[in-house]
Amino acid sequence: MYLDKEKKQNLLHILNLVTTKGSKTDSVYELSGIRASYEFDGYTCWLAYRDLTVTLMFHGSYDFDYQHKETREFFFKLVSNLLAEKDNL
């Protein structure tokens, strides 16, 4: 799956939003159903939502794993909505 520069940046912004505004349980943060976690060195980070997992790796590479196309589409809508409302969270 190809992501343009804006979508990649949005994933990084949502990772930051979830880890700063979300609730933390063990080493996983959660905000509005999106879960975020990362390795201790920060080189690999994960975003998860329902059956979707996004792996964000060093130097801007990424990997998507999901079972339903609808989940991926809803995930990106949710990301856009959360970023638009980030000042109100």
**Whole-angstrom distance, CA of residue 14 vs CA of residue 55:** 13
Matching residue, tokens 């949005």:
10
Give this prediction's pTM: 0.91
pLDDT at position 33? 98
Amino acid residing at 83: L
**Whole-angstrom distance, CA of residue 61 vs CA of residue 56:** 6
Q: Which residues fall within 8 angstroms of residue 70, CB to CB, at 6 or more apart? A: none
Which domains does the chain possess?
Answer: 5-80 (3.30.310)
pLDDT at position 39? 92
Q: What percent of the chain stands above pLDDT 90?
A: 80
pLDDT in tens, 23-32: 999 999 999 9
pLDDT in tens, 42-69: 799 999 999 999 999 988 899 999 999 9
Residue 37 scores a pLDDT above 90: yes
